[in-house]
Each structure stands twice: as structure tokens, then as C-alpha cells.
Amino acid sequence: MTDTPKTIVITGASDGIGAALARHLAPHGHRLALVARRADALAQVAATCGPQALTIVADCTDRAQVDQATAQALAHFGEVDTWVNNVGQGIARLPSQLTDDDLDRMMRINVHSALYGAQAILPHFRARGTGHLVHVSSVLGRIPFATIRSAYCGAKHFLNALTGALRDELAATHPGIAVSLVSPGPVDTAFSRNAVHATPSARPLGTPQTAEEVAAVIASVIASRAPDVYTTPGMQAQVRAYLDALDADPPG
């Protein structure tokens, strides 16, 4: 659950986690700016969220379009309390087969989009002395256990590092601005089918959560401003075990 109503921008809001988050937040009175490329899908999500939802058609991998989307949200609502960077795409290709285009695409979609969103809204947050950035990452940004997701894992590792560095930068100058990282595990959405090089029959790896379950966790982060949250129970322990194994002394 979230606390008092906020003005919240959600990127990648036309489907999956972003759409589920919009539907979760809307009944609590939040004012929503829903950003995505697909106007028709975005309109369908907004129709389920009531009159407080504003749709903004933009490609978040284009800095100019993100800047324009920010201006539209501020012009409409007057202020933004929380910005959720949720745009992302996976890949289905082994590391030995990756091309330059594969790497560039994963960085553009999973990292550049978040950086553009953060840099676009930060002047507003700094002027107000408060605000909240939420970056939706992945547990694959902690443990690269899916070899076909190799470039996606790398991009999410980069996003995690960028998020931590941004949090430290702002803590020193604008402590009223929070930066949160949310790491889902597998989620039952079209993510696997939409991954670069994926087949139409692709399915989520492991045992997936629903998009609604992940959305509920993100909503709790919006309320609490917690810095680092996993959506899957027990996942933090798995990450610690993986890192401990890497740090273990060699046998003999």
C-alpha cells in the first residue's frame, strides 16, 4: 500500500509491470503520468485508471522525447513526486554469440532510458528539495545465472551501479531525494517473448511472480522509499550465497 496521494510518472506503462503498477496505484488516488511508445496500449491502461491518469507517448531511449515527456507531466500536474524508470527488454543470446548491436540495444533500453528519466526530472526534484527515483532492475543484475540473458544481465549490473552512485551523489547534496532499486525475479509477462532473438514460444525462466505481485512491492517502495528491495521472497539470501561462494577461499 502507498501513503498520501502522489504524482507519479511510470515509464514502460503500456504493459507488464508498468501497467500493473498503474492499475495498483490508481485506486489510491495517485495522479499518474503513464509513458510508453504504444499509444493504443497506453490508452487502454489509462482507461482502467480513471481521470487522474495522463498518457504521454514517448520513446524513453530518446533523450529529447524523455525531456518532452517530463515537460508534459509537469505542465499538466504542476509537480512530480515520484519517477519510476521501468523501461526494459531482455535478450536470448549466449555471450559467445553477442554482437555490437546486441550490446548497444541492451544498454540503450535498460540503462540509457533510466539515465534520461533521472536527469530529466532531477532539476525539478532539486528545486523542490524532495523527490523519489525508483529504478526497476532485475535479480539478474545481481546473479548472472541465465546465460542467454548475458547482455541483459550486464546492462542491469550497470543500472544497479548507476543507481547506487546516483544515490550517493544526491545524499551529499539533496538528502530529501530518495533513490530506490527494485529487483524482480522471473515475472509472468510478455518479457520473455519480447526479448531480442526470442522465439514466440519463450516462457519466463524459473517460477514467475505475477506482474500484480511485483507491482504491489513497487507500490510499497514508493510509500517507504526503501533503498534496495527484492520482490521475490528469499532472493536476497540467494544473492548473498552466490557472492559468498565467489569470495570463498580456493580448495586445498
Residues marked active site are found at 152
Grid cell for residue 204:
519466463
Please state the separation of Cα 222 from the chain's center in Å: 13
Interatomic CA distance for residues 154 and 198, integer angstroms: 18
Interatomic CA distance for residues 191 and 210, integer angstroms: 12
CA distances from residue 216 to 51, 118, 224, 242 in whole angstroms, order as listed:
21, 22, 12, 27
